[in-house]
Amino acid sequence: MADYNKVTLMGRLTRNPEVKTNPASTLAEFGFAVNKGKGDRKSTMYIECTAWGQSADFVGQYIVKGSNILVEGELRFDTWEDKDGSKRSKHKLDVYRVVSLGKSEAPAEEPEDDDAVPF
């Protein structure tokens, strides 16, 4: 049986994407926050994401900080040593699909009087 690494997450961008373009391809890096749990057990996971090609182009054109998106990709675990020699690690997502679910929702405004309602 072969290994399988596919992750689907829904959340919001924590910062505007950094898009880099060269003649061969486009790369977009962005931070992503996913809420998990409920009530007192609610917490947020922060994941660094990297998209390439058409997905990176889409992110660069249509996705901004606060955007609600769905991402699909492969999870990886990076390890490195910082300048002090301490071992560091971080989960990252190599994104191959991005779906925009719209910008942050603003609270709906109530009409001032019943005559303003169009139905």
DSSP 35-102: EES-GGG-EEEEEEEEEEHHHHHHHHHH--TT-EEEEEEEEEEEEEE-TTS-EEEEEEEEEEEEEE--
Residue pair 51/65 in contact by the 8 Å Cβ criterion: no
Q: Provide the whole-model pTM.
A: 0.74
What does CATH list as the number for 7-103?
2.40.50.140
pLDDT tens sequence across 36-66: 888 788 889 999 999 999 999 999 999 999 9
Domain ranges of the chain: 7-103
> Nearest to residue 74, comparing CAs of 100, 55, 96, 56?
96
pLDDT tens sequence across 60-115: 999 999 999 999 999 999 999 999 999 999 889 999 999 999 765 433 333 344 44
